[in-house]
A and B are shown apart, each in its own frame.
Chain A
């Protein structure tokens, strides 16, 4: 029997993977050619999805993007033995997109059935947890510190230091909370990992629990990800049944359980203190810091709060050692960055690359420019609170410090490409609108500043005392930056000011390009 692989990742489903699966089963039945169809996560080449792979003696051979209508001709072409076909892409690993990557965190994603514990182990899974059990809390924290891992949610705080704080905090109960409220537009790494290799997240959280002495964990996943939620719950159940979670995990005497909780469409709940409020059953209102969640977090107890990718990076670090991870990247940005390329881009998807790779390499060479074929005019990096960069800044290396120096941020690694039909004044206005809509309302700069921001931009664009209003916009932005309680209000000025700095012509009534370019 020939083994086939087809993703069940939400992006693959969005492009028709389920219909392809049905067609494959139908054709194989009709032709008397039995196949075993393994449903995997995605390799991240969304531009090739649905990507159907077949096991051959020369390794896996891929065909994509496949539609249900192509399936019959694939059988005709003998794809079960790797036959020639217009959609044949050869060995996926040899494609420039995958060959350019360093897959540590996503090394299994897209290769295995995400709920198959044996396949997970065979792919190196749980090796990190086994070492962690043997190592003990101090040893784990040391390895994580050594790896240089910084929080992948956007803030970039050193993970090892956070864990050590929780470990040393006196408490009756400690918690491990995974922030899976991936609200930033242009980001989907968390979703892909939760759907494609959820056991990696479970393993990483369990290692964190061992490090800090926590017995309970929560994954706060946004409701916009129903597939991820289902996969996570199923993975937790299987891991528990196999003894990797529960009262006495793998006979180590340690207890750890994980529960998935679902958000309800509030962007602000990606902010860690707001997330904790939401988990406790309240409005997602931001808490003032200090106290840090590491000392007083969920239900007032010391809590590790990390992003999905932060936790998912840990199993590799424990299995291979902190130094092996730190060998990638440069400066203070060590290890790998998961870049997510989306928007108006020819080849979009997820890439895991060492820090320091240039934005241009990702957007132009791997991404292939815009989907519309028009020139790139701007890229927004780091989600709705990230900066809009012009083409002239595409040589910026992807690392925390380089982006900070240009008044931008890497955030969660999302890159959204815009062609020359984009109106940056409209995008700046949207940044304020979004903030006005999603502000938790606790602090005035964010709650009111965002509303005033929309009004000021409207006046500028209308040519109403433009000079004075531009000054006012600058003042408003510095006030929001300095006086907001959290990153929502504090970083909304980033997209606004970057649009104004790099694309001033869009704000000037006299030079405003008509939306003609949009046709």
Chain B
């Protein structure tokens, strides 16, 4: 049986998109977020979270703005963004499903549920579906190990998921 590659368990790091200042309309919103959080000690992570909450990802156009506000080099900002699995570089689907892939969910059959879903949707981890409705992301523990396998759909926890219950939840939210 062929074994998956070593990077199989990670979120695929998509290449950083090129900045295109002529088309980006988020400057004002980003500047407001950065301005508001500037006074915090260690402000970069709170800013990145706020940007991702606003845009659904951390736009590459915001990198020089962050660097400027925090007196960092752009490379330092980029290095922080790329270190953390959670910061997306491209928009996610309208709905985000996070499936737990850690040991407790493995023990409870989580792998089969994940494989079935990704197979049906013909999606890879972290990839957005063609219709833009869904992104399935891997997560390593949601703290729902006593009702494994677990998932989180748009921030709402789901326990003891099966292929059937997961499809039902996805249908209910309109994907």
Contacts and interface: CB of A to CB of B under 8 A. Distances in A.
Interface of A: 10-11, 13-15, 46-47, 49, 182-188, 190-192, 223-227, 261-267, 278-285, 299, 340-345, 348-350, 371, 380, 384, 414, 416-419, 422, 427, 429-430, 433-434, 436-438, 440, 451, 454-455, 458
B85 A188 contact: no
A262 B45 contact: yes
B146 A345 contact: yes
B145 A281 contact: no
Contact of A11 (B84, B86, B102, B157): B157
Contacts of B119: none
A185 to B, nearest CB: 3
B60 to A, nearest CB: 17
B43 interface: yes
Interface string B99-114: 0001111111100000
Nearest to B151: A14
B85 A11 contact: no
A440 B82 CA distance: 12
B143 interface: yes
12 contacts: A14-B157, A191-B143, A262-B45, A264-B87, A265-B86, A266-B86, A281-B70, A282-B80, A342-B146, A343-B148, A429-B3, A434-B140
Q: Please provide the 10 A-B residue pairs with the shortest distance between their CB atoms, ordered closest to farther.
A: A342-B145, A348-B146, A14-B159, A185-B102, A281-B44, A343-B107, A265-B86, A264-B84, A46-B146, A14-B157
B45 A185 contact: no
B112 to A, nearest CB: 9
A433 B8 contact: yes
A427 B106 CA distance: 9
Contacts of A433: 6, 8-9
B84 A224 contact: no
Given A14-B158, A418-B107, A188 B84 contact: no
Nearest to A367: B146
B150 interface: yes
B146 A340 contact: yes
Contacts of B139: 224, 265
B146 A264 contact: no
B126 to A, nearest CB: 12
Given A371-B108, A417-B107, A433-B9, A281 B80 contact: yes
Interface string B137-166: 001111111111010100111111000000
Interface string B65-82: 000001000001001100
Nearest to A343: B107
B141 A224 contact: yes
Nearest to B40: A259
Contacts of A349: 146
Nearest to A182: B143
A418 B110 CA distance: 12
A46 B147 contact: yes
B3 to A, nearest CB: 6
Given A187-B143, A343-B148, A416-B103, A264 B8 contact: no
A387 B138 CA distance: 24
B49 interface: yes
Contacts of A418: 107
Nearest to B10: A437
A434 B146 contact: no
Contacts of A343: 103-108, 145, 148
Nearest to A379: B107
B140 A342 contact: no
Contacts of A14: 144, 147, 150, 157-160
B25 interface: no
Given A14-B158, A265-B86, A454-B6, A283 B145 contact: no
B49 A262 contact: yes
Contacts of A13: 156-157
A357 B139 CA distance: 32
A363 to B, nearest CB: 12
B22 interface: no
A376 to B, nearest CB: 10
A267 B11 CA distance: 13
A451 B6 CA distance: 7
Contacts of B87: 264
A494 to B, nearest CB: 13
Given A345-B146, A434-B140, 19 more contacts: A10-B144, A13-B157, A15-B147, A47-B146, A182-B141, A183-B140, A185-B102, A187-B141, A188-B146, A262-B45, A283-B79, A341-B146, A342-B145, A343-B104, A343-B148, A416-B103, A419-B107, A430-B9, A430-B103
A8 to B, nearest CB: 11
Contacts of B171: none
Contacts of B157: 10-11, 13-14, 227
A69 to B, nearest CB: 15
